[in-house]
Amino acid sequence: MTDPGLELTDLTAARLVESYRKGEFSPEEVTQAALEQAERIQPEVNAFVRLLADQALAQARESTGRWRRGEPKGLVDGVPTTVKDIILLRGAPTLKGSKTIPEQGSWDEDAPSVARLREHGAVFIGKTTTPEFGWKGVTDSPRSGVTRNPYDPTRTAGGSSGGAAAAVALGAGPLALGTDGGGSVRIPAAFCGVFALKPTYGRVPLYPASAFGTLAHVGPMTRDAADAALLLDVIGVPDHRDWSALPAAPGSFVAGLSGGVKGLRIAYSPSLGGQVAVQPAVAAAVRRAVERLAELGAYVTETDPDFTDPVDAFHALWFSGAARVTQQLGPEQRKLLDPGLREICATGARLSALDYLAAVDVRMELGRRMGRFHESYDLLVTPTLPITAFEAGAEVPKGSGHRRWTGWTPFTYPFNMTQQPAATVPVGVDGDGLPIGLQLVAARHRDGLVLRAAHTLYEAGIAAGVTPGVTPGVTPAGS
């Protein structure tokens, strides 16, 4: 029987699974609550492109039966989960925020991460919003409109996994699948006060292959690091459809969360050697969190990785990928594209193979430098973003002088180029009450270390974000 004072939408996935095991409440009750919350927040934040109520409730009923028999299907049986509308989900169209993709079709295949979740009994409640083809660091598209921030609906939720971040922050499912090609799970998680991990490239198989190549990762977006570890245990296994997928991890990511940060060598880079102008509130919050890491026993050194901003090389890789995404579109279809996307596609189409390979050279050198850096330091800590959320519907902050979204995301995209694991942890809010994120980066294949350090921040009470199920500044529909 459900405690009438308990908000089911406040609970983490780990807590839900434990409660199912004890018989405290059922997946049906939890799924109904998550769907109602999704409907409540949708008019204000626009986190979803599609809710799957009938399918989700059917899955939840099956899960309830399994738990009553003491036969759970897997690690997340009965947990409400959302899927970014870039990732294939059987039985639901994947339209990628684009009017150029027809809704008709069989839609009969799961992406690898979705297939693993289905095998473990997850309940899929909906597809979340994305900018068109996931091309930018905010979430608005010609097809789905603007996704807004849970703290202030006049502000952006970030992107490109903005709908996923907003859904998690507001209690519409504790687990979300996002994608990250230049910061796309970390940016919106930082703006929305939740946790996100971009795993080492290949840790989570990807199919179909991204036109953005090996910049693109699938990653967990959750309430805390423990839930992300749980989700990574489920989705971080090989799939034959992705030839670049890594072998299974040697152990459980959940089991590796304990141990703290004592003795870890942490490099703290507040501005990448003065290359980034960071808002004072952001800088102060990140510094406070770093000081607490030192108090917990980490050896913290204020130092910078040895690289200059690789944005030109990133643009060559990213813009050419965008051009490839839209290569088959005719003139009339191109008129339907987001104007910013149409612009970068034109730029990417003008690049030569030699231009692309020159960018690959920059990428390889960056990877070498970061590999050497991590011989001296276990973790790199930076702000996730130098700013907090700005006005919704804009690619860049008004008056910033930036041309593209990469102008305000200099801490995120370099680590897509190097394929390293990188996470964002909420460490407070600014004077307007908008969330601030801290980024943790480790050497390739050290995903467990990133999760362990992030978990330590949560355990120590350093990580602080939105209260799940609460919509600060937003009046729920019908209230």
pLDDT at 3: 57
363 pLDDT above the threshold of 80? yes
Q: pLDDT band for 395, please (50, 70, 90 cuts).
A: very high
Domain ranges within the chain, ordered by starting residue: 10-459
Q: How far is CA 281 from CA 66, 277, 302, 437, in A?
A: 48, 12, 18, 11
Examine the pLDDT at 221 and tell me if it is beyond 70. yes
Residues 257-273 pLDDT 10s: 999 999 999 999 999 99
pLDDT for the residue 467? 53
For the residues 334-359, what does the mean pLDDT come to?
98
Measured CA to CA, the distance from residue 276 to residue 200 in angstroms comes to: 25
Q: Which two tokens stand for residue 188?
A: 């919106």
Active site residues: 84, 160, 184
Residue type, 107: W
Give buried/exposed letters for 173-186 (b at 16+ CB in 10 A, else e): bbbbbbbbbbbbbb
Assigned token pair, 175: 């687990």
Rounded distance between C-alpha atoms, residue 143 and residue 133, angstroms: 11
Tens digits of residue pLDDT in 119-129: 999 999 999 99
Q: Alpha helices of 144-224 — where are they, by DSSP H?
A: 162-169, 186-192
Taking only the tens place, the pLDDT of each residue in 376-391 is 999 999 999 999 999 9
What pLDDT sits at residue 472?
42
293-307: pLDDT as tens digits: 999 999 999 999 999
Q: What is the pLDDT of residue 5?
A: 56
pLDDT at 465: 55
Per the prediction, the chain carries an average pLDDT of 95
Contacts of 164 (CB under 8 A, 6+ apart): 47, 82, 84, 128, 176, 177, 178, 185, 188, 221
Query: Domain 10-459 maps to which CATH number in 3.40.640.10, 3.40.50.300, 3.90.1300.10, 3.30.70.20?
Result: 3.90.1300.10
Share of the chain above pLDDT 70, in %: 96
Q: What is the pLDDT of residues 60-116, one digit of tens each?
A: 999 999 999 999 999 999 999 999 999 999 999 999 999 999 999 899 999 999 999
pLDDT digits (tens, 9 = 90+) for 425-475: 999 999 999 999 999 999 999 999 999 999 999 999 999 754 533 344 444
Q: What is the mean pLDDT of residues 4-20?
A: 90
**pLDDT over 90 (residue 478):** no
Cα separation, 205 vs 236, whole angstroms: 7
Inform me whether the pLDDT recorded for 4 exceeds 80.
no
Read off the pTM: 0.96
Answer yes or no: is pLDDT of 1 > 80: no
Residue range 408-435: average pLDDT? 97
**158: pLDDT strictly greater than 70:** yes
